[in-house]
Structure 1
């Protein structure tokens, strides 16, 4: 505690423990700033450093750390008008010749191309995953197949019965079928119109084509299924 001021020289609201904690926090901020700048090896303002460290330390602590490190020569400070930027001391890094820089630039271009290719592959896989996620599972498909097969058998039997001169549909049942058909067709057209209105509204501010929007949100149109609402 020899490097701390006498107790009677401290502000009334500041104790030795608080002062030691403050000094420890300042040291931690300096170490974090120095480590960050050395790893990134590019210029940053104190505000950028504070934000990039996810505001682990306050703005004041970061500014003090930058100024202290610059004074001690551990980092370099450059002023542009009122703006100051800080960068790692370049003397600590080995020199790189032009040939090595060109090699590194070529490697960056190569890796950037691989990154773009990988991102495109990821987008395609995500699209495939979305499509498969909306499909029936094998067990669900088996159950649906059984139900559909049973329905087909039932309707084939009913059709055969009608062809053989069996009981025909009564006028009441016929009217009910036509009425239901009209209701469903109207609902189909109404929902189609409402959906198109919503999608057109989205497209006014959407930066991509309509086809891409439909793919992104998983829209399947009547045209995709080669169907259209029948006339009433």
Structure 2
């Protein structure tokens, strides 16, 4: 046999405060019987009825009596038992809506103004972020163009195939026409060997040009690799900053609103080509080097 739980019965002002707090918190129409039942008997039914009537006289709650012909859909389902009472009428009580805590008009206006200010600030920050990203990309492009222009200038200064062929022919003519001592056959052999080496060196120099191979030194390649690593790391960092910032901005927005805001701000995400490049061996090699 289960033992009964002792319930502390409230009286006086404590009971009135309990009933009023419940009515305001629920903010739905209830009768005295249901209020007492929902309070688990801490305020008896007769006391609850008296308290609600007293609160109605004070203006803390609104009292209304319904007849039997009232449609049940207009009253909470829990009230049906009250409507069916022998008296034929049900008295319901609900919190006075004018006394409930609500934001004043000036506070609502201040919050709306603050929201508009934050939206404008977000637009400005998004524009600055876009400008900064474009500036970094332009700087990288400028450095790349400078390196390419320097390489092009070197190639333009290099002799053409026809000029190299003419220089080789001239060197061979000088070798054949050079005055040699009649008694110095050894000297002639040494000179011819030296000139032959020079000719071979010149031919080896023009061979890459004939094949169309670009002449890029190891130092220049190291510079290009360093620039690539540096600016890609900067791009990755800025992309992370953007995603963190965008998460803060769009956290309270629905997906359609977030998409519309991104379109209004002119935000452009990575194209499929960019995504494919990030998954390619070039970026994979950069990621491996960074982890090391």
Q: TM-score, normalised by structure 2?
A: 0.24
Structure number with higher helix proportion:
2
Larger Rg: 2
